[in-house]
Amino acid sequence: MTTVMATSTQKTAIETIDLTVSYGGKPALKGVSVAFPENAVTALIGPSGCGKSTLLRALNRMNDRIPDAETRGKVILNGQDIYDRRMNLTRLRREVGMVFQKPNPFPMSIFENVALGPRLHYGLRGRALQEVVEDALRKAALWDEVKDDLHKSGLALSGGQQQRLCIARMLAVQPRILLMDEPCSALDPISTQKIEELIIELGKRYTVIVVTHNLQQAARISHYTGFLMYGEVIEWGETAELFARPKRPETEDYIRGRFG
Amino acid sequence: MMELTRAEGTPAIDWESLAARQDARRARKNALLTGVFGAVGLATVLLVFALVAIIAYKGAGTISWEFLTQPPREGMSAGGVGPMILGSLLLMLGAFVMATPLGVFGGVCLAEYGERSRLMRLMHASVAALAGTPPIVYGLFGLAIFVLKFQFGVSLLAGWCTLTLFCVPAIVLTTEAALKTVPAALIDGGLALGLSRWQTLWRIALPYALPGILTGIILSLGRAVGEATPVLFTASVYYTTAEMTLGWDTLRQPVANLPYYLAEGYRQPGVVPERLIWGACLTLIALTLLLNAGAILIRSRMRRRYL
């Protein structure tokens, strides 16, 4: 099977090779080989149950959490297969951060939420830690709203702010790849817009991979789009191209809203 | 008001009167159940209040600084229950220090490994059975093992060990239950951040579950402090006129304590005057209520902080 590449000029940040993930013997992802270009936003779209979240969660091995999940194939990061027995999960997840569908701030202060990662991963303390926290909150476009309330509970924030706090928490660990699993689906339109702007901004400096069920969102925020169905990649390419001139009839049906 | 017409083809049945009949039935049933539950609930609350009120009424006259601090005098017929209170507090303190780590680690172990391993499921069932075992069984076990086998004698040390055994199952179960209330999304968040399993447990799950765990510890101690039978054969002495002295020797000596004083004092009418018994009874119930109040306070304080 040949790897689907968005463009030949772009450097690859992370790629999958013949990746199959099954839950209790039922395959959710069937031999997927794709490469995610560096410092760009890639959107994963497709109908419910198509395997897009499974693919995302395979990239930082969060599928390990599911008891009957079984993974075959490879995911190559820095020339190394992350499913290799010698792979250290802490190191993997330091490189590959993730935010979830529903904001999940820890029940601690805003500062502590962001500080926890750098403190445990790099042993930062004091002034240096404060600077990292501020930097992460600024990059998550949250600093101005919370700078006077850093000691307040992360759960006291609004849903959209909570999600940006989770993004800041992820950024503070200094990852290079950001995974986002429908990051706006639990948010109101204004919060959604803020997160979308943030994703576009982050895409300049990070490799961002976003699962979304919102096609307009995929079109607005991503450089590349992968369309999945029945656990397989149907079409993969530059977002503008894929939406304007889909090559496969399934893609066309889906983006024209004939099913999904 | 204009009646809405029903969709064409709706069966010709008198829907309104049928619905009215069902509504009336439902209303009757609701009223009945509300009445029953309300009455039973109220009765329960009143019963508890009555219990406390009667003990408070009978015992309040006895309570004084002297009663709470002085040892009994004149062959137990006068004086106070100072050594009994001190003994009960000592027993509880030791049980707290020993049972807390054991119980919390046990609960963590069950919560972390409980679902997948058959051994752990068996252990959970055993602990649950132990938590329901009558306290007298712990008393006899403590007598056989700590007092006789380990030759601790009837002593504070043997009492600590026995009460620890008595408290651990309840603490294990409440810790396990509290850890199971931690949302999976928080654990996912910790793991996705690159925290190890133990870091996630220590930094995220345990703090989240802490109010529940502390409540469990305090409640089990409250139960232990009021039980006479675990310490009956292992740690208790009845006839104390001496003031207690604290030192290393104390460990190997029996201690007076409130529940045992109550049980023995009541069995020997005419020796201990009734007013002293009521006073001790009120002291004991106040102690347990205080512990419960403390548990509630801790829980609400912690919950308010970040939740």
CB spacing of B195 vs A90 below 8 angstroms? yes
Q: Indicate the pLDDT class of residue A106, thresholds 50, 70 and 90.
A: very high
CB contact under 8 A, B191 and A173: no
CB atoms within 10 A of CB B199: 16
pLDDT in tens, B33-88: 999 999 999 999 999 999 999 999 999 999 999 999 888 888 777 888 888 999 99
Mean pLDDT within B205-209: 92
C-alpha distance from residue B103 to each of A57, A166, B93, B207 (Å): 36, 34, 15, 16
Q: CB under 8 Å to B251, separation ≥6 — which residues?
A: B155, B156, B157
DSSP result, chain A: -PPB-S-SSSPEEEEEEEEEEEETTEEEEEEE-BEEETTSEEEEE-STTSSHHHHHHHTTTGGGGSTTEEEEEEEEETTEETTSTT--HHHHHHHEEEE-SS----SSBHHHHHHHHHHHHH---HHHHHHHHHHHHHHTT-HHHHTT-TTSBGGGS-HHHHHHHHHHHHHTT--SEEEEESTTTTS-HHHHHHHHHHHHHHTTTSEEEEE-S-HHHHHHH-SEEEEEETTEEEEEEEHHHHHHS-SSHHHHHHHTTS--
With bands split at pLDDT 50, 70 and 90, how would you rate the model's confidence at B2? low
Among A69, A167, A154, A157, CA closest to A112: A154
Chain B closest-CA separation from residue A165 CA (Å):
12
The answer to whether the CB atoms of B208 and A107 lie below 8 A apart is: yes
Average pLDDT, chain A: 92
| For residue A121, pLDDT beyond 90 | yes
pLDDT at B75: 76
Contact B194 A166 (CB under 8 A): no
Q: Give the mutation candidate from B303, B306, B307 for the A interface (greatest A CB count, under 10 A).
A: B306
pLDDT-derived band at A150, boundaries 50, 70, 90: very high
Size of interface A-B (CB pairs under 8 A): 70
Mean pLDDT of chain B: 89
* A11 Cβ contact list (under 8 Å, min separation 6): A37, A38
Predicted TM-score (pTM) of the model is 0.82
A254: distance to nearest CA of chain B, Å?
31
The verdict on a CB contact (< 8 Å) between A153 and B307 is: yes
B218 Cα to chain A: minimum distance (Å): 23
What pLDDT, on the 0 to 100 scale, is given for residue B305? 65
Domains and CATH numbers, chain B: 65-306 (1.10.3720.10)
Per-residue pLDDT at B10: 87
Partner B contacted by A158 (CB < 8 A): no
ipTM score of complex: 0.91
Chain B interface disruption, residue of A66, A106, A171, most B CBs within 10 A: A106
Type of residue numbered A18 = D
